[in-house]
Structure 1
């Protein structure tokens, strides 16, 4: 990961920045699926200043060649009027590193009970005892609101930036540009 591209949301009187970031990230996800997973990571450089949000800047990380190839595709169709694009540019010397990962909330105990019943063949009462309603988890993390293309349902994609470290950790990135183990340069 020797290069990056910054996509900065431009102010828009009709749409709040969170709505634009949701739309941009949705297009990014579809673009990464078409591009092939693994080589491009993402981060949100303004996350700490965003007051519980992700900020108005999305940074793509990868090799200069991968980023040029990806940015040359048409994944930004419909969003180009809403973003300023800077890069690809080289990662600054001395950049530190951090993992940016997806965190999934266990927020629907009823769904978990249905799965348990289907998998184990147990009675609903046993499933309720094993997975009580109090098990529902509420995350206090920033998120992107996305719509599933297969079900049409909206869901929150919670994103966590782990602590900054000195050494990079190799790995691959999924179709959201996130990884549970691989780091991106942080600067």
Structure 2
């Protein structure tokens, strides 16, 4: 993870930055699935959880930003950019050069967080797994048990089921030292950290 490449979204009157970021993320995912030897991590330097920035309306989704940073070895980043994965997005994205990451940058874990936001689904699952009655499941999982996340997310469509889902991203706190480890096909941590700058 000693190099990086920045992808900046360009303003578009027809699409919001959240829509464009979701489309860019989906294309990156497909490229990483097609090239499993590439070890690429991501970060969203402008993303903010919770309160949106001043230029967004209150009550809108947490802010993703307009900047996707790819982390990896220089050869892995070059191999990714040699693929046609950005086709259809070239008018919406300004890719920067591959450059060395700052040597003294802190590291963070950028990982997926899954929300258990549907108590009915959790109850059905509990009934099925533990042969409980509906009332027993309702007592164990009350409506207030739903977990709502206030994290930035991208909206994606599952290639296998066709269903839309939200992929919540937590960028963690600075770590005292880098963590070795892998990354999934979304570029999210499976133990590995990325430089944060």
What TM-score results when the alignment is normalised by the length of structure 1?
Answer: 0.93
Which residue is equivalent to 1:98?
Answer: 108
Counterpart Cα distance in 1 of 2:130 and 2:24: 40
Which residue is equivalent to 2:56?
Answer: none
Shift of 1:62: 0.5
Shift of 1:166: 3.8
Shift of 1:2: 1.1
Return the match for 1:168 from 158, 178, 185.
178
Which residue is equivalent to 2:70?
Answer: 60
Give 1:21-170 correspondences, 5 Å limit.
Answer: 21-36=21-36, 39-48=39-48, 51=53, 52-170=62-180
Call closer, same or farther: CA 1:37–1:116 in 2, change over 3 Å.
farther
Greater helix content: 1
Counterpart Cα distance in 1 of 2:100 and 2:88: 27
Counterpart Cα distance in 2 of 1:135 and 1:38: 39
Which residue is equivalent to 1:179?
Answer: 189
Q: Secondary structure at the match of 2:189?
A: coil
Counterpart Cα distance in 2 of 1:140 and 1:48: 9
Deviations 1:142-183 (A, max 9, x none): 111112222222211111111112410011001111115321
Shift of 1:22: 0.8
Q: Secondary structure at the match of 1:163?
A: coil
Q: Secondary structure at the match of 1:59?
A: strand
- Unaligned stretches of 5+ residues in structure 1: none
CA RMSD of aligned residues (A): 1.7
Counterpart Cα distance in 2 of 1:129 and 1:180: 34
Could you tell me whether the CA contact under 8 Å between 2:38 and 2:76 is conserved in 1? no
What TM-score results when the alignment is normalised by the length of structure 2?
Answer: 0.88
